[in-house]
Amino acid sequence: MYLENHFFQKIQMNKTKRKQAETLYLILASLFITSLVTSNLIFQKFFHWNPFGLYEFELSVGIIAYPVTFLVTDIISEIYGRKRANKVVIAGVFASIFALLIVVVSTEAPATSWSPIGDATFKKVFGFTFIAVGASLAAYLLAQFLDVQIFHFWKKLTKGKHLWLRNNFSTFASQFVDTATVLLLLCSFGVIEWKLFWILLGNGYLFKVLFALFDTPIIYAVVYLVRKHFGLEGDGVEMVYKED
């Protein structure tokens, strides 16, 4: 593996650093996939949140984990490049489909008479998972690929500078597309009432925007530490694998 910046200069990495870089990539990918799958499974519970008494949010608990996926793809995009970010997005699709199959089989398996969770309760909790995962996958694919494309558009335009700009601009656009698409599909299939569409859209998008602003110093800190550890010098320099 070598490091590559905008001028395609190659910097050799030793075997230890290559292993560390690959391990970090796998850790980030696992955080991404866990956040994605978890958000699809727990979405049916809604909660109230009133930060500092300023505004009353009504949100699905699935939204707690989901914004992490955009933070992780932005970190991967910044450090490992577009191709590696897209690979994680595709891996997330397969992970979601596999999780869905497990839920479907588990729902159809008859509960024993002594099972703490009966068929009715289990189906009530996971009954809409198929629709939710389908809606989420449609929104997810559109939003995540849009996020990666916009991120790298701004990265190229600013020549690797202004990380905050591409982090927030890519997230703002992709999160709106994601929130609107998934709510549109869930309302269309009767999972959520149409009268809740606009309130959930506003609450969901505002929460994600606040999260994006909150995670800006986090992505700066992570990128700084990774660049320092692996010796990535220069604006926007990425780790590019030979097979990429």
Q: Band of the pLDDT at 26, cuts 50, 70, 90?
A: very high
pLDDT in tens, 45-99: 888 888 888 888 888 888 888 788 888 988 998 888 888 988 998 898 899 889 8
Segment 115-172, tens digit of pLDDT: 999 999 888 887 766 666 677 777 777 777 787 788 888 888 888 788 888 878 887 8
Q: What is the pLDDT of residue 40?
A: 78
Closest CA to 49 of 67, 34, 36, 61: 61
CA 226 to chain CA centroid, Å, is: 20
Residue 7 has pLDDT above 60, yes or no: no
Both tokens of 228, joined, read 């320092």
pLDDT of residue 8: 37
Residue type (1 letter), 157? L
Q: Which of 6-10, 25-29, 131-135, 219-223 has the lowest mean pLDDT?
A: 6-10
Q: What 3-state DSSP class applies to 4?
A: strand
Q: Is the pTM of this model over 0.75?
A: yes
Q: 143: how many CB neighbours lie within 10 A of its CB? A: 27
- pLDDT at position 28: 96
Minimal CA–CA distance to 32: which of 111, 89, 77?
A: 89
Is the model's pLDDT at 9 over the cut of 50? no
**Radius of gyration of the CA atoms of the chain, in A:** 20
Residue 109 has a pLDDT of 92
pLDDT greater than 90 at residue 34: yes
List, for residues 162-182, the tens digit of each pLDDT value.
888 887 888 788 888 888 888
Domain boundaries, the chain: 2-240
DSSP 78-110: HHH-HHHHHHHHHHHHHHHHHHHHHHHHHHHSP
CA 179-193-101 angle, to 5 degrees, is 65
In the DSSP assignment, the letter for residue 193 is -
* Res 241: pLDDT: 58
Q: Whose CA is closest to 151, among 168, 176, 134?
A: 168
Angle, CA 130 vertex, CA 132 and CA 118 arms, to 5°: 110
**Helices 62-80 and 129-157: angle between axes, nearest 10 degrees:** 30
- Determine the Cα–Cα distance for residues 183 and 148; give it in Å rounded to an integer: 22
